Amino acid sequence: MASPRTTEPLLTRLDRRGNNKSAMPGDAEQEAIRGELDKILASPAFRNSKRYSSLLKHVVERALEGRSDDLKERNIGVDVFGRTSDYDTNSDHVVRSVAREVRRGLAQYYLDDGQEDEIRIELLPGSYVPQFRRPEAPVSVPIPLVPAEAGRRWSAAWIAGVALAALLVAVVGVRLLTAPSAFDRFWNPFFGSSTTALLCVGGGGQQNAAPDIQAMSVSDFEHQPSRRMHTSDALALASLAAMLQSHGKQYRIVNRAGATSFRDLQSGPFILIGGMNNEWTLRLTGGLRFGFEKQPNGARVVDRQNPSKSDWSVNISTPISLFTRDYAIVSRMRDPQTEQPVVIVAGIGSWGTLAAGEFATHPEFLKKLEALAPKRWEQKNLQVVLSTDVIRGSSGPPNVLAAHFW
């Protein structure tokens, strides 16, 4: 039986950290990579942003020129964004911020229909060295053949035993070589369900009564609150959907929590995106250790085992120019009401939701969670409280503040 399709590196000289490993791709592969780059740069996520396009084009060309060692934060700041050679990378996060947006733009691009079989350009978190991948042909497990003259002497049961033993050796060998990662352990309860997953996004506002669509103009219809989604929530949705798609998990999307019924949540595993703007998030976290609580001047992440703790809060009257931090919760559990696996990716503000989505979809962040976890944590429910620094309206990477397993 053929195994599921995977990907193999085109540019195999680069490992996950960007270290040199083997030879550069040939001319034909380089031409294919540049062709893929042109298509990405022409997509909506990139053609409207000179900064995103400039960074992606720069790192791809440097890699293809064999200059991956030049792809460091300071060098990119100087070469792409015109910074001086002695600029302070601790206070000026332009390269990190734009690189995060490029990663999200790539995830959104490959989420589109028709992109499954293309060469993929990836920019892994923690590195500015791109990876180039393409679909790999399915791999089959060989079944030993028995010569015709021997077949008369060997029993069918013996032949079946040989074939089964070969298959078991192959499976055990693969498992020994690929031990479950923190990412696998986090998501396996979710992927273990055979039913279609539901992605439920917050926002969109509430409506007191169903509108008379027939009486509306196209403009009125498009400007209904239910048609709106925050950009950061949309990016988190794109990252999660791309992750599900890459693992062969079928899903459907509901773009307003108010349009999601309890029966919808009972139909299969689900992901809730958004905190204060997602009523299902507020309901399901209402009885958990970490949840969200409205305040007169905003909201906070509350620790119900330490309710007096008040520093995980957001004041919504703060000017954007002075706003520096948002907070979020990532929860993974089996919901006792729906009896379905659920993952909740939720921030107080949109920056927190975006950081929570990044945490849940990137193996290196989940590996940090595993370092705090007890044995057999993958069999437990869990919650993680995160913070993210906000710089000039853009969120930074997620930072783990607390974790709870039960």
Place 116 in a pLDDT band, splitting at 50, 70 and 90: low
Q: Pairing relation of β-strands 131-135 and 120-122?
A: antiparallel
In the chain, what's the furthest Cα-to-Cα distance? 86
- Angstrom distance (rounded) from CA 168 to CA 189: 24
**In the predicted model, is pLDDT for residue 37 greater than 60?**
yes
pLDDT tens string 158-217: 445 545 555 555 555 544 445 678 998 999 888 878 889 999 988 754 444 455 656 667
Q: Pairing relation of β-strands 290-295 and 298-303?
A: antiparallel
**Residue 29 confidence (pLDDT):** 83
Mean pLDDT over all residues of the chain?
79
Higher pLDDT, 226 or 201: 201
Strand partners, 253: 199
| DSSP state for residue 2 in the 8-state scheme | B
Closest CA to 93 of 395, 406, 404, 400: 395
Q: Pairing relation of β-strands 298-303 and 313-315?
A: antiparallel
**Residue 228 confidence (pLDDT):** 63
Joined together, the tokens standing for residue 137 give 């042909």
Closest CA to 387 of 344, 345, 347: 347
**Residue 280 confidence (pLDDT):** 92
**In the predicted model, is pLDDT for residue 82 greater than 60?**
yes
Three-state secondary-structure class, residue 330: strand
Helix (H) or strand (E) holding 273: strand 270-273
**In the predicted model, is pLDDT for residue 42 greater than 50?**
yes
**Residue 1 confidence (pLDDT):** 42
- Angstrom distance (rounded) from CA 162 to CA 189: 33
Give φ, ψ of 145 to 5 degrees: -100, 145
**Residue 404 confidence (pLDDT):** 96
Name the pTM for this structure: 0.58
- Angstrom distance (rounded) from CA 314 to CA 327: 8
Q: Which span out of 14-18, 205-209, 357-361 was modeled with the highest average pLDDT? A: 357-361
The number of residues in the chain equals: 406
Q: Which residues have a Cβ under 8 Å from the Cβ of 198 and sit 6 or more positions away?
A: 251, 252, 253, 254, 260, 264, 265, 267, 268, 269, 270, 271
Joined together, the tokens standing for residue 23 give 């030879």
Contact predicate 120/104, CB 8 Å: no
User: 54-58, 145-149, 324-328: which range is least confident on average?
Assistant: 145-149
Contact predicate 106/123, CB 8 Å: yes
Q: Pairing relation of β-strands 120-122 and 7-9?
A: unpaired
Three-state secondary-structure class, residue 17: coil
Orientation of helix 73-81 relative to helix 94-111, angle to 10°: 80
